[in-house]
Structure 1
Amino acid sequence: MKIAYLDCPSGIAGDMTLAAMIDAGVPLELLQQGIASLGLPGVRLAVEEVKRHGFRALHLTVEHEPEHAHRHLHHIDAMIDAGDLTAAQKELAKRIFLKVGEAEAKVHGSTLQKVHFHEVGAVDSIADIVGAAIGWDYLGVDRIVCSPVPTGTGYIEIAHGRCSVPAPATAEILKGIPLAASDVPFELTTPTGAAIVATIVDQFGPLPAMQIDRIGYGAGTRELKSQANIIRLILGETADPLDSDQVWVVETNLDDISGEVIGHASNLLLEKGALDVYSTSIQMKKNRPGVQLTVLCDAADLAKMERILFRETGTLGVRRFPVSRHKLVRREHAVETAFGAVAGKLAWIEGGPASFSPEYEACRVLAAKHDKPLREIYDAAQAAFDPNSL
Structure 2
Amino acid sequence: MSGTCVHFDCSAGAGGDMLLAALLDAGCPLEPVRAAVRACGVTEAEIGVTETLRAGLRGLLLDVEVRGRPRHRPLPECLAAIAGAGLPARVEAWATTTLRRLGECEARLHGIPVERVELHELGAVDTLVDVVGVCTALHHLGATTVLCSPLPAASGSVATEHGVLPLPAPATLALLAEARAPLRPGIPGVEQVTPTAAALLTSIARFATPAMRLRSVGHGAGSRDDPRRPNLVRCWVGDADEGDLAAPAGFDDACVELRTNLDDAAPAVVADLAERVLAAGALDAWVVAATMKKGRPGHVLHALVPPAAAAAVAALLLVEGPTLGVRCTDAPRMVAERDVRPFASPLGEVRVKRKLVGGRVVDARPELDDCRRLAAATGRPLHQVIDTVSAAARAELLP
TM-score range, shorter chain: 0.7 to 0.9
Name the counterpart of 2:166: 164
Aligned with residue 322 of structure 1, among 327, 332, 343 = 332
Cα root mean square deviation, aligned: 3.6
Q: Distance in 1 between matches of 2:258 and 2:219?
A: 48
Query: Alpha carbons of 1:251 and 1:371: their partners in 2 closer, same or farther (altered >3 Å)?
Result: same
Residue 251 of structure 2 corresponds to residue 241 of structure 1: no
1:1-390 equivalent positions in 2, closer than 5 A: 1=2, 2-151=4-153, 154-175=156-177, 176-183=180-187, 185-203=189-207, 207-236=209-238, 237-238=240-241, 239=243, 240-241=245-246, 244=249, 246-256=252-262, 257-267=265-275, 277-281=285-289, 290-295=299-304, 303=308, 307=312, 310-311=315-316, 314=321, 316=326, 318-326=328-336, 332=341, 334-337=343-346, 339-344=347-352, 357-381=365-389, 387=395
Name the SS of the counterpart of 2:11 in structure 1.
coil
Q: Distance in 2 between matches of 1:83 and 1:125?
A: 16
Structure 1: 5+ residue stretches without partners: none
Q: Distance in 2 between matches of 1:82 and 1:272?
A: 44
Query: Alpha carbons of 1:331 and 1:139: their partners in 2 closer, same or farther (altered >3 Å)?
Result: farther
Q: CA contact under 8 A between 1:143 and 1:331: conserved in structure 2?
A: no
Query: Alpha carbons of 1:146 and 1:341: their partners in 2 closer, same or farther (altered >3 Å)?
Result: closer
Q: Distance in 2 between matches of 1:129 and 1:111?
A: 22
Shift of residue 333 of structure 1?
5.3
Name the SS of the counterpart of 2:114 in structure 1.
coil
Q: Distance in 2 between matches of 1:202 and 1:226?
A: 29
Query: Alpha carbons of 1:172 and 1:382: their partners in 2 closer, same or farther (altered >3 Å)?
Result: closer
After superposition, give the CA deviation of every residue in 1:199-227 in whole Å (9 maximum; x if it has no partner). 223235xx444433332211111111210
TM-score (norm 2): 0.80
Q: CA contact under 8 A between 1:335 and 1:381: conserved in structure 2?
A: no
Q: CA contact under 8 A between 1:93 and 1:133: conserved in structure 2?
A: yes
Tell me the number of residue pairs that the alignment of Structure 1 and Structure 2 aligns.
Answer: 381
Query: Alpha carbons of 1:269 and 1:311: their partners in 2 closer, same or farther (altered >3 Å)?
Result: closer
> Which residue identity does 1:17 align to in structure 2?
L
Structure 2: 5+ residue stretches without partners: none
Q: CA contact under 8 A between 2:375 and 2:381: conserved in structure 1?
A: yes
The sequence identity of aligned pairs, in percent, is: 30
Query: Alpha carbons of 1:231 and 1:158: their partners in 2 closer, same or farther (altered >3 Å)?
Result: same
Shift of residue 243 of structure 1?
8.3
Q: Which moved more, 1:240-249 or 1:374-383?
A: 240-249
Shift of residue 108 of structure 1?
1.4
Query: Alpha carbons of 1:305 and 1:100: their partners in 2 closer, same or farther (altered >3 Å)?
Result: farther
TM-score (norm 1): 0.82
Q: Distance in 2 between matches of 1:132 and 1:382?
A: 27
Q: Which moved more, 1:368-377 or 1:309-318?
A: 309-318
